Structure 1
Amino acid sequence: MLYLTVKEAAEKWGLGTRIVTLYCTENKIEGVIKRGNLWLIPEHAQRPADKRRREQPAPQPSLSEDLAHLLAATAGTMPHDNPDTVLDTVNEERMRLQYEGEIAYLRGDFSTTMACFQRTRGDNAARLRACPVTIAATISLGDYPAYTEIEAYLEKCAEVHKGSGAAAIAEQALATAAVSIIAPNMVPGWLKEGDFSALAPQARPNALYLRAKYFYCLHKYDAMLSVAQTALTLSAQPQGFTTTDIYLRMTCAVACHCLGRDDEARHWLLKAMKLALPHSFITPFAEAVTALGGLMEQCLEREYPAFRDAVLTQWKRTWKNWISFHNQFTKDNITLMLTLREYHLALLVAQRVPYAKIAEQHCISVGRLKNIMLEVYEKLYISGREELAKYII
């Protein structure tokens, strides 16, 4: 057998001679022998474990990595026959909370959606993942204070993680409020341009839905329909459906109605109803009653009369909440909801400066000024100068 000296073993193991000598003295090296003052160490002896050396903890994934993992894990479809069984397919609480919050929202149980969000406290990835549906719940409840807390959290995330996937998801969640409150100027630039490169693939169907809603805010209904149809084609999964799948069909229905193509609108609306109403998912329809005029009531009465009262009752309740939320949101964000030119003109109108004088100052006709103000009133969901003064002065 070949032996190494203490010095040779120390060099081999990358240790000091003193520590190797100590190992020999304490008989921690198998097969070591002593000849006089000389320690002889078997050539194939293993370096003893150093209890003083602590293993380094495994590196923790970044927020963007953790969020991408969670998005992938919660992007699965709900079975057509029984969507609730999806809750039995997840083995982590954070994943279950996401599905539970979405299903509760679809059934109009917004308080449960909010409760699921509260249970994500301390888990930033789960919290970011749950923000879009929770923001929708705050709007349906008219709970503006709860929204402002979420808004502050998302703005901080977007700033701290700027340029990352996590920041893009935070901005996407904020866009949920912007398109819901008809504030297209507040939509992030990448969503306006359709550049989803910073998003995980699983987040892109919802981003396409928000982009379609952005076009709705701009009254670009052809573009709205095109984006929604494209998103449906890309996300089609015959084994089940997602919340976004329902909303994309509703988006197609609204776009067709706005384009005067009510037969197509009815087709898309019935497809959404067939997917959702058998499971008491009434929220997407309650949200669209106003946008579809009488078409919603017609389809419910003819095809799903058992759900007519539930949908319309929820619409009456949440529409008032939407108005309340919209008014508070507008007061806080009016300079973002209007262009700079619109804001300057609106301020003068609210101050009761005569239209002729405002038109002369801004080198436009009185007719053009009136058209601009009609667009302002439409954006703010108000009817005239008196209401405008409440927001802008």
Structure 2
Amino acid sequence: MKNYLSVRETAEKWGVSERRINQYCAEGRIPGAQKFGKSWAIPADAKKPGDPRRRQGRAETAPAETAPGTLFDHTNLMPLMNTAFDPDHCQEAVEAMPAGPRRDIALAEYYYFSGQPEEAIKEAEPYLVSPDRGARLSACLICAYANLSIGQIQQARYALGELNASLASGREQSSQVRAASAFIASTGAVLLHLPLPEEMPDVESFLPLLPPGLRAFALYVQAHYLYLKEQYERSAGIVEATLAMGAASYPIPAIYLHLVAVMDYMSLKRPDQAEAHLLTAWEIARPDDLIEGFGEHHGLLGAMLEAVIKPKWPKDFKRIIDITYRFSSGWRRVHNPITGHDVADDLTTTEFAMAMLAARGWTNQEIAKHMHISANTVKSHISEAMRKLNVETRKQLKQYMLR
């Protein structure tokens, strides 16, 4: 009979944290590991996973342009995110780029941010094995999120594992390479509400090394991280300062910054400010159909999409909700096993949005006023959500809501 070790025993044996063992298991990097409830049983003879690139027979050495002491070329690192363009000119910005990795990665970004994950994967996947670190990191991030949206969870876990491996292997690289790896790895973790990799440096150490558009998105990631820590005022302050200092010129980071501001102001019960940020994000996104972020953030936006977008743009709202269901299904399959947090998966988007507000102390009357519906309708939706989750009090709702 095969012998198994607990997560704690395996962590002690391999000299790593229990969190790292849980990540290895959730990413499918320990053959034979078995899930029991919220924990794992690891075969006693299992080997400690190394850099996942070794399993693919790829070279361990960095290409010449990323050798220690040299500058790292950010050209192919999320180029569309780092491009300033006017709304309704996104595709033109991509087409203006020279043929090659930069344009291909930018096109993959466009497909992803416009809610076309299958097309995004087609463009990005060839660069998963690229010797160019910027292209490879970009491909890993795009493929991780796009695969979540189409239910290819193992591929998503593999790509996320590659991001963490790149960060771990970057210690001996130049500061620019470490900055790129830290930026991508933190983006991969924070947006999925996962623990930050153990090797993650302080944001202050890599932020100045990023070009302006990526720096703006990195500040969105930092604001999102502070939101998760319930530091809403600090998070909103970062957003407002970043936008005031020129981030509004970069549409993709700007959209995401405005969305996290919505999250902050709804948590602070300041819906007028939240609505202003939502409408600004919508004005930037709608001309180029960059709606993916709205679907990704739906559960955190405090029913603002239902209150503002649905009445005026019902067809767009329906597409956003389709993205939400697709993305959140994959998100939970990665998030819940690693964190042990059972975010609800059997509520409608409306029930989830109302339950989020109720769990944060909003009354039925406040929710009704915000969503322009009756208090009885709110009560009915929240009662149904509580019935599905088998809870009796609003306080108990918190354990099933997003954090």
Alignment-mate amino acid for residue 73 of structure 2:
L
The C-alpha deviation readout for 1:286-336, integer Å capped at 9, x for no partner, is: 12221123221121133323312111222122222222222233369xxxx
Q: Does 1:218 align with 2:229?
A: yes
Map of 2:187 onto structure 1: 176
Map of 1:290 onto structure 2: 299
Alignment-mate amino acid for residue 235 of structure 1:
G
Q: Does 1:199 align with 2:199?
A: no
Give secondary structure in 2 for the equivalent of 1:91: coil
Distance 1:149 1:70 in 2: 21
The C-alpha deviation readout for 1:13-42, integer Å capped at 9, x for no partner, is: xxxxxxxxxxxxxxxxxxxxxxxxxxxxxx
Map of 1:325 onto structure 2: 334
Map of 1:61 onto structure 2: 65
Distance 1:211 1:188 in 2: 16
Alignment-mate amino acid for residue 176 of structure 1:
T
CA contact (8 A) 1:143 1:325 kept: no
Alignment of 1:1-16 (within 5 A): none
CA contact (8 A) 1:208 1:228 kept: yes
The C-alpha deviation readout for 1:158-200, integer Å capped at 9, x for no partner, is: 2333153222322322222321232355476534x54335633
Report the number of matched residues. 280
Alignment-mate amino acid for residue 174 of structure 1:
A
1:256, distance to aligned residue in structure 2 (A): 0.8
Q: Does 1:123 align with 2:131?
A: yes
1:272, distance to aligned residue in structure 2 (A): 0.6
CA contact (8 A) 2:223 2:235 kept: yes
> Structure 1's 154 and 318: CA in aligned 2 closer, same or farther, altered over 3 A?
closer
1:73, distance to aligned residue in structure 2 (A): 6.1
Tell me which of 90, 100, 115 is aligned to 2:107.
100
CA contact (8 A) 2:190 2:225 kept: yes
> Structure 1's 228 and 327: CA in aligned 2 closer, same or farther, altered over 3 A?
same
1:379, distance to aligned residue in structure 2 (A): 7.6
TM-score (norm 2): 0.61
Distance 2:253 2:121 in 1: 19
CA contact (8 A) 1:142 1:325 kept: no
Q: After superposing the two structures, state which structure 1 stretch, 139-148 or 102-111, moved more.
A: 139-148
> Structure 1's 242 and 155: CA in aligned 2 closer, same or farther, altered over 3 A?
same
CA contact (8 A) 2:207 2:218 kept: no
Q: After superposing the two structures, state which structure 1 stretch, 281-290 or 66-75, moved more.
A: 66-75
Tell me which of 209, 213, 227 is aligned to 2:238.
227
> Structure 1's 381 and 170: CA in aligned 2 closer, same or farther, altered over 3 A?
farther
Alignment of 1:266-305 (within 5 A): 266-305=275-314
> Structure 1's 174 and 378: CA in aligned 2 closer, same or farther, altered over 3 A?
farther
Alignment of 1:1-393 (within 5 A): 60-62=64-66, 65-71=71-77, 75-120=82-127, 121-125=129-133, 126-162=135-171, 164=174, 165-184=176-195, 186=197, 189-191=200-202, 194-196=204-206, 199-202=209-212, 203-236=214-247, 241-330=250-339
Structure 2 unmatched ranges of 5 or more: 1-62, 342-393
1:90, distance to aligned residue in structure 2 (A): 0.7
Alignment-mate amino acid for residue 155 of structure 1:
N
> Structure 1's 122 and 292: CA in aligned 2 closer, same or farther, altered over 3 A?
closer
CA contact (8 A) 1:182 1:379 kept: no
Distance 1:103 1:222 in 2: 31
Distance 2:240 2:292 in 1: 21
Distance 1:212 1:297 in 2: 24
> Structure 1's 72 and 149: CA in aligned 2 closer, same or farther, altered over 3 A?
closer
The C-alpha deviation readout for 1:218-262, integer Å capped at 9, x for no partner, is: 111111111112222223455xx4311111111111111111000
> Structure 1's 132 and 66: CA in aligned 2 closer, same or farther, altered over 3 A?
same
CA contact (8 A) 2:145 2:156 kept: no
Task: Work out the percentage of aligned pairs sharing the same amino acid.
Answer: 21
Over the aligned positions, Cα root-mean-square deviation in angstroms equals 3.1
CA contact (8 A) 2:113 2:290 kept: yes
CA contact (8 A) 1:212 1:224 kept: yes
Pick the structure with greater CA Rg. 1
Give secondary structure in 1 for the equivalent of 2:300: coil
CA contact (8 A) 1:102 1:133 kept: yes
